[in-house]
Amino acid sequence: MFKITTYHLVYISFIATILSCSPKPDKRPSPLTMDSVMLNGNKVKITYSSPSVRKRKIWGDLVPYGEVWRTGANEATYLKTETDIKINNQDIPKGEYAIFTIPTDSTWTVILNKEWNQWGSYNYDSTLDILRQKVIPVKKSFTEQMKFKLDQDSIYFRWENLGYSLSISKN
């Protein structure tokens, strides 16, 4: 038979105190968001922190033109693929990759970089790029919160009044 001793009560009290002092779930203004798609039985997933417009000027201000942007907030946005894929007909080996963007007022450069696990774009190293694609952002209806969407054929990006897409397929 098990007896509860003073030692057990002290231990239970200690654990209860630690648990009650634990930080509350993440209350980021830019929530962590994911989307995924199965390509021939293999998962392709994108993970990002989704900022809101909140009445701010986004392009050329919050997101400066001509500078590398993490394409989201907080940690760098990243793509994980369980299989080799093609993005805009360029081979991408299975793995995890940060997604960066260099926006301008007319064209953007979308980048996949081997250093996927980093905060922001502060340690961005262009020598680790495996993809650089020019896209022309297209006017879209207003989207308050930044979004990525994956489907069988495309990676879609939307935020504020702009968006773009890249083709995706199994290699």
pLDDT value at 24 more than 60: no
Please state the rounded mean pLDDT for residues 56-74. 97
Q: What is the pLDDT of residue 7?
A: 57
Residue 118 belongs to a domain: yes
Q: Which domain holds residue 51?
A: 28-170
Q: Average per-residue pLDDT in the chain?
A: 90
Residue 1 pLDDT level (bands cut at 50, 70, 90): low
Q: Is residue 161 part of a domain?
A: yes
Question: Does any domain span residue 61?
Answer: yes
On whether residue 150 sits in a domain, the answer given is yes
Q: Strands, E, within the chain: which ranges?
A: 32-39, 42-49, 73-81, 85-87, 90-92, 95-103, 108-113, 129-135, 138-150, 154-170
Partner residues linked to 119 by β-bridges: 75
Judge whether 148 lies within some domain. Answer: yes
Count up the domains in the chain and report the number.
Answer: 1
Q: Does the pLDDT of residue 36 top 50, yes or no?
A: yes
